[in-house]
């Protein structure tokens, strides 16, 4: 076991029978449902849906009719949406000395795709589960991490809290019947495969050295040529056709964008590497054996959203479905349905920050501005599944590399592997844990994501993981499934070139990762941060702000 892991594995002989998907045993695949049935006959596996409520989201289509008197409320700034962008905007307002604001969100907890979860007392993510150590272009995120004590200067150098850096072993791949370190297939691959790895690495390094690939994205215009074609076509053009390389790149795109190389642009596929850690060939000249540092917590990025939410107190109003946002002569009206109290509210404010996905914002903003309508009309979204599996104890495993934080099965058409929630624990004794399994079922599967019962996803994850952990069904006690019908924007060809700037005016501004064209923490946080500061400037010394400031806190 690696440093900090708190669940161990016992090796078991590799499964016999033919190969499926580059090393998956067909016999194990076929027996997995039977193993689950045998297990459930002895001990019940409980479960449920968790996280985002599709039913509450669909209230946008048909808001319930008013019952009783509508509640009238006033504040200086309304923030519609409590995802990363909305929470960043709230932090920015407070940096400018503005405390008179409210954050409205339709879910029961703030955080959007970065909400924290807990299963049987074990903290786990419901969505985003890590944050790469930010580079200098992401100065706003660096500042946040400094404020939270994660980043600090020691002896003239910036350092990050070791407890929050991913412990080793960081990642492994089940390939050719056993586990190997890292996610790039290397076991038994030939010289042709290694040569293509090296050529792709050289292409990525050339792009990295250009300085055009940054997070957040800065100079979009120079990237338009790569944005104009599919990543798969770019790879074909460069004769990068090796099956192992293509599988790995497709996996990376599905993991980052919810869609594979045939759907995303060449810019997006290359940006994954060129803006972050490059592409290192194991054993190559540029491989120093060190992993790209990343920050993670048992609850994933939920640790960050909790720290952003805690100082806001009652300013965060959850279970609020925003149904209408309308500019008025001297301010903004925001109509809301309280899904718990079952009553309607109307907020009067000097300014509204719309931190909602583009397709939602275009529906609720009256006379939506052309950039918003254009963005909503063009943006395509990937659905997403996160299944958190509570295990009563350690698992047996196929031979090879030890249990890592991130564990991926080669050849899975939709599954993206699992992360171990207790990997950062310093307790050396193995015990109960949670595996967070991720699945990108594809854009066409959105209806299936909403239609299938939680048991469907339980059976799918067990069918995949029992191949490499044959006793998993016997260790499984509880499953919670988070569904995201519109989890993230897909950076399809042309999306970057047609991306409008987020509008900002005296009464309305916009902030959401959709305005960046792809969904990552750094983009959402930076957009929200700047929208918050813009709202503070727009409402300062105005007559509408003075009127709303009669109340120092939201009523």
Pick the more confident residue, 284 or 273: 273
What was the pLDDT predicted at 25?
Answer: 32
pLDDT in tens, 2-25: 333 333 343 333 333 332 233 333
52 vs 485: CA distance, rounded Å: 9
What was the pLDDT predicted at 267?
Answer: 97
- Number of Cβ within 10 Å of residue 440's Cβ equals 25
Return the closest-CA partner of residue 437 out of 401, 402, 391: 391
Structure tokens at 4: 């900090």
| Ranges of CATH 1.10.405 domains, the chain | 188-281
In this predicted structure, the answer to whether residue 292 has a pLDDT above a threshold of 90 is no
Structure tokens at 205: 């390094």
Burial code (b: 16+ CB inside 10 Å, e: under 16) for 447-459 equals eebeebebeebbb
In this predicted structure, the answer to whether residue 445 has a pLDDT above a threshold of 90 is yes
What integer is the mean pLDDT of 434-458?
A: 95
What was the pLDDT predicted at 555?
Answer: 45
402 vs 400: CA distance, rounded Å: 7
What was the pLDDT predicted at 52?
Answer: 80
118 forms bridges with which residues in the sheet? 123
Specify the 3-state DSSP secondary structure of 434. strand
Q: Confirm if 216 and 524 have CB atoms less than 8 A apart.
A: no
541 vs 142: CA distance, rounded Å: 31
Using a 10 angstrom Cβ sphere, with 0-12 exposed, 13-18 middle and 19 or more buried, the burial of residue 493 is buried
Q: Confirm if 319 and 106 have CB atoms less than 8 A apart.
A: yes
What was the pLDDT predicted at 460?
Answer: 95
Q: Confirm if 88 and 540 have CB atoms less than 8 A apart.
A: no
162 vs 545: CA distance, rounded Å: 44
What was the pLDDT predicted at 12?
Answer: 34
Torsion of CA 173, 115, 133, 272, to 10 degrees: 60
What integer is the mean pLDDT of 259-282?
A: 94
Give 283's pLDDT tier (boundaries 50, 70, 90): confident
pLDDT in tens, 507-519: 999 999 999 999 9
Give 57's pLDDT tier (boundaries 50, 70, 90): confident
- Number of Cβ within 10 Å of residue 341's Cβ equals 11
429 vs 91: CA distance, rounded Å: 39
pLDDT in tens, 404-426: 999 999 998 889 999 999 999 98
Biggest CA pair distance of the chain: 77
CATH architecture for residues 54-108+318-378+497-548 = 3-Layer(bba) Sandwich (3.50)
Specify the 3-state DSSP secondary structure of 189. coil
In this predicted structure, the answer to whether residue 348 has a pLDDT above a threshold of 60 is yes
Return the closest-CA partner of residue 483 out of 80, 120, 55, 121: 55
In this predicted structure, the answer to whether residue 41 has a pLDDT above a threshold of 80 is no
What integer is the mean pLDDT of 55-63?
A: 77
CATH architecture for residues 188-281 = Orthogonal Bundle (1.10)
Evaluate if pTM is beyond 0.85.
yes
pLDDT in tens, 363-373: 999 999 999 99
Of the candidate ranges 34-43, 80-89, 206-215, 479-488, the one whose mean pLDDT is the lowest: 34-43
Give 543's pLDDT tier (boundaries 50, 70, 90): very low
23 vs 399: CA distance, rounded Å: 13
What integer is the mean pLDDT of 320-348?
A: 95
Q: What angle do CA 130, 303, 144 make, to 5 degrees?
A: 85
| Ranges of CATH 3.50.50.60 domains, the chain | 54-108+318-378+497-548
The mean predicted confidence, pLDDT, of the chain is: 88
467 vs 186: CA distance, rounded Å: 20
């Amino acid at each position: 076991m690696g440093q900090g892991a708190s669940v161990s594995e016992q090796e078991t002989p590799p499964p016999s029978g033919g190969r499926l998907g580059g090393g998956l045993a067909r016999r194990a695949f076929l027996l997995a449902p039977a193993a689950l049935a045998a297990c459930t006959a002895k001990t019940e596996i409980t479960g449920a849906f968790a996280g985002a409520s599709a039913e509450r989201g669909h209230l946008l289509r048909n808001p319930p009719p008013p019952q009783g008197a509508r509640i009238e409320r006033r504040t200086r700034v309304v923030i519609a949406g409590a995802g990363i962008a909305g929470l960043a905007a709230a932090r920015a307002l407070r940096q400018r000395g503005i405390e008179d604001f409210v954050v409205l969100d339709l879910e029961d907890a703030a955080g959007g795709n970065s909400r924290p979860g807990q299963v049987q007392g074990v903290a786990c993510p419901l969505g985003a589960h890590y944050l790469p150590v930010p580079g200098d272009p992401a100065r706003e995120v660096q500042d946040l991490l400094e404020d939270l004590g994660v980043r600090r200067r020691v002896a003239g150098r910036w350092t990050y809290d070791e407890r929050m850096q991913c412990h080793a072993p960081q990642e492994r791949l089940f390939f050719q019947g056993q586990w190997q370190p890292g996610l790039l297939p290397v076991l038994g691959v030939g010289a042709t495969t290694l040569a293509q790895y090296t050529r792709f690495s050289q292409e990525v390094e050339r792009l990295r050295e250009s300085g055009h690939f940054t997070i957040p994205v800065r100079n979009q215009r120079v990237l338009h040529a790569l944005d104009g074609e599919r990543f798969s076509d770019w790879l074909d053009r460069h004769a990068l056709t090796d099956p192992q390389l293509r599988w790995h790149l497709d996996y990376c795109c599905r993991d980052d964008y919810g869609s594979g190389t045939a759907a995303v642009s060449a810019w997006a596929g290359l940006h994954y590497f060129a803006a972050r850690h490059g592409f290192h060939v194991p054993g190559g000249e540029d491989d120093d054996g060190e992993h790209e540092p990343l920050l993670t917590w048992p609850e994933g990025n939920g640790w960050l959203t909790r720290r952003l939410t805690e100082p806001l107190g009652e300013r965060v109003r959850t279970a609020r479905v925003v149904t209408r946002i309308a500019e008025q002569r001297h301010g903004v009206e925001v109509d809301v349905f309280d899904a718990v109290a079952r009553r309607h509210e109307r907020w009067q404010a000097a300014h509204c920050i719309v931190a909602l996905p583009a397709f939602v914002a275009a529906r609720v903003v009256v006379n939506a501005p052309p950039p918003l309508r254009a963005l909503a009309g063009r943006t395509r979204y990937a659905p997403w599944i996160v299944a958190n599996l509570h295990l009563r104890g350690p698992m047996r495993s196929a031979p090879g590399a030890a249990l890592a934080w991130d564990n991926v099965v080669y050849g899975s058409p939709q599954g993206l592997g699992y992360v171990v929630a207790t990997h950062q624990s310093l307790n050396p004794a193995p015990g109960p844990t949670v595996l967070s399994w991720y699945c990108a079922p594809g854009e066409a599967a959105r209806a299936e994501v909403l239609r299938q019962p939680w048991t469907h996803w339980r059976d799918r994850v067990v069918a995949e993981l029992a191949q490499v952990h044959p006793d998993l069904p016997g260790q499984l006690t509880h499953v919670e499934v988070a569904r995201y019908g519109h989890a993230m924007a897909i950076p399809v060809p042309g999306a970057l070139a047609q991306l409008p700037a987020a509008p900002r005016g005296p009464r309305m501004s916009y902030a959401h990762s959709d305005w960046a064209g792809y969904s990552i923490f750094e983009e959402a946080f930076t957009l929200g941060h700047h929208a918050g500061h813009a709202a503070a400037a727009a409402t300062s010394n105005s007559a509408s702000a003075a009127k709303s400031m009669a109340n120092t806190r939201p009523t």
